[in-house]
Amino acid sequence: MPPKVALITGASRGVGAAVARALAAEGDTSIMLNYGSNPEPAQSLIRDLNSSRDNNTQSTGSPQFQALKADMADRADIRRLVNQTVQEMGRLDIVASNVGWTRMTDFTNLDEADDEADWDRCFNMNVKSHFFLFQECRPHLEKTQGAFIATASVAGVKPSGSSLPYAVTKAALIHLAKSLAAIAAPNIRVNTVSPGVLLTDWGQQFPEERLNAVREKNVLKRFATPEDVAEQVKFLANSKSITGMNVVIDAGFSL
């Protein structure tokens, strides 16, 4: 049986890279890694995935790992990414839609939130790009009865986070996914994962005192990890009975 095929956007680092490693560990999934500008982290990840793959399965039917540059703010680039993924790998079973954007501000400062460019870019990247990606993937996922999983945020569940536009648009993404789950059923399952603060390159932009305060607020007194998120994405990709759900992975921040 040919490998399943997963497309992961924003896959070079952080959550996207962790999702790639989790899906590759299944041993039956080819993966297209999308990156935005710098190819080296994606190529390095591919080298890691290839080296960890069981040498005994190296054959024409074994999983393949590739990387493709695409701007997820550009619908034409999204279309090219999906079309090339299917052309190169033959099908599409799993989409991990993992792009997002924010500008760090004081969440409680309404004057800092009053920036129309921030609202527009947050809505474009945190909502519209996921919808456009879903639309391009839809005919392929219908054929395989596949799964679409988007990365939202605990900021979309509990008012918090890097900025007000970010929090509001992540809430919109969660509702978009629930709506798509209802509309695209029964052939496509659509879910979201909502991480709390993760100590990725992005999370480490927060000031140290703010990170310490978040850690103390987390009832587990630690941070969730990209690997925690990736395991949930893998579970949702494999489950045939879960759709329209938002899984919060925040070490108890939102309790």
Quote the CA–CA distance of 191 and 246 in Å, as a whole number. Answer: 6
Q: Does residue 208 lie within any of the structural domains?
A: no
Instruction: For residue range 82-137, list pLDDT tens digits in order.
Output: 999 999 999 999 999 999 999 999 999 999 999 999 999 999 999 999 999 999 99
Instruction: Give DSSP secondary structure letters for 97-137.
Output: E---------TT-HHHH--HHHHHHHHIIIIIHHHHHHHHH
Which three-class secondary structure state does DSSP give residue 160? Answer: coil
CATH for 135:
3.40.50.720
pTM of this prediction exceeds 0.85: yes
Report residue 220 as tokens: 């587990």
Q: Domain span at residue 235?
A: 4-198+225-249
Is there a domain that residue 190 lies in?
yes
Residue 204, in any domain of the structure: no
What is the full DSSP assignment across 26-49? TSSEEEEEEESS-HHHHHHHHHHH
The domain total for the chain is: 1
Helix (H) or strand (E) holding 85: helix 75-89
Distance (Å, rounded) from C-alpha 252 to C-alpha 221? 8
- Domain annotation covers residue 214: no
Answer whether residue 159 is part of any domain.
yes
Q: What is the pLDDT of residues 65-97, one digit of tens each?
A: 999 999 999 999 999 999 999 999 999 999 999
At 64, is the secondary structure helix, strand, or coil? coil
User: What is the band of 206 on the pLDDT scale with cuts at 50, 70, 90?
Assistant: confident
Question: Does residue 217 belong to any structural domain of this protein?
Answer: no
